[in-house]
Amino acid sequence: MKRLIMVMGLAAVSMFGQILLAQDRNISVMVFGNLLQPTGRFSDNLGEGASLTRRFGFNIGDDAGLATKGFGGGLELSTPVLTSNLSWVIGARVLFNPVDDTRITDFFEDEYDDTLDVDFENGSWFNAPIFTGLRYHYGISNDMNLYAIAQGGVNLTRQASRKAYVEGIIAEETTFNLSPDFGYELGFGVEFLKTYNIGVRYLNLGAPRYEGTRRLNERFFPLIPKREMYISGDSRPVSMIVLFLGYTL
């Protein structure tokens, strides 16, 4: 099912891109950077129901993303459609959000009654949205335009990996696979001199159900059914405020 979602989403975006490129109009190309501020449960550093289990390792709780401020960048194409104030856009980017493990470290040390040292080594969240949509411009001077944008499409996402150490020994190692899903983005901004672009956008990438692998050390989890476990359907909401800084080539 996930493969079907990814294929359908990519096919739709590809079709929009071909239509866009086929327009007998000027096409502008913008490169941009993003600063990311996670919102909602994506930024929670401990979820409800967090616990130290004896069979399945460290449970960080429902929905918590542990995400912190991140960064990213990409490319966006646009061309006027219907009127000079309306543009069809298509873009792709890569986004990274590091993880804050301070709260979960303190929580699980308390679970061990402070008798053992617990440390976490985490990767970063990865998202690669490929979106298409519309942008409306409103000129307030010859050199400045205000705009609003709405777009959506397919997103390739991977949850941050986790490695837990107890007394310097790896007790748990969890990695996740790339997963396809859908998302959308709404925003507004200012364009200067038809070259510089500054904006703020809200990016919602849904609640993907991540799959992956968890390896546990039987020394710390003596009741595990097996050393390596398959993770299926670990749902985590992903949303953020995006500061958009662009330059039109």
Q: What is the pTM (predicted TM-score) of this model?
A: 0.87
**Edge-to-edge order in the sheet of strand 162-166:** 118-122, 162-166, 169-176, 209-216, 228-235
Q: What pLDDT, on a 0 to 100 scale, did the predictor assign at position 10?
A: 54
Residue 55: partners with Cβ closer than 8 Å, 6 or more residues away: 221, 223, 224, 225
Instruction: HSE, CB side, 13 Å, CA atoms: give it for residue 104.
Output: 29
The three-state secondary structure class of 67 is: strand
DSSP strand pairing (162-166 vs 144-158): unpaired
129-146: pLDDT as tens digits? 999 999 999 988 888 999
Helix or strand run (H / E) with residue 12: helix 2-22
Burial 21-40 (b: 16+ CB within 10 A, else e): eeeeeeebebebebebbbbe
244: nearest Cα among 158, 159, 135: 135
User: Helix, strand, or coil here: 104?
Assistant: helix
Residue 65: its pLDDT value, please? 92
With beta carbons less than 8 A apart as the criterion, state whether 115 and 103 touch. no
pLDDT in tens, the chain (249 residues): 455 445 545 555 555 555 545 554 578 899 999 999 999 999 998 888 888 887 788 888 889 999 999 999 999 999 988 888 899 999 999 999 999 988 888 888 888 776 778 889 999 999 999 999 999 999 888 889 999 999 999 999 999 999 999 888 999 999 999 999 999 999 999 999 889 999 999 999 999 999 999 999 888 888 877 888 899 889 999 999 999 999 998
Nearest Cα residue to 201 out of 166, 241, 174: 241
State which fold the 2-248 domain adopts: Porin (2.40.160)
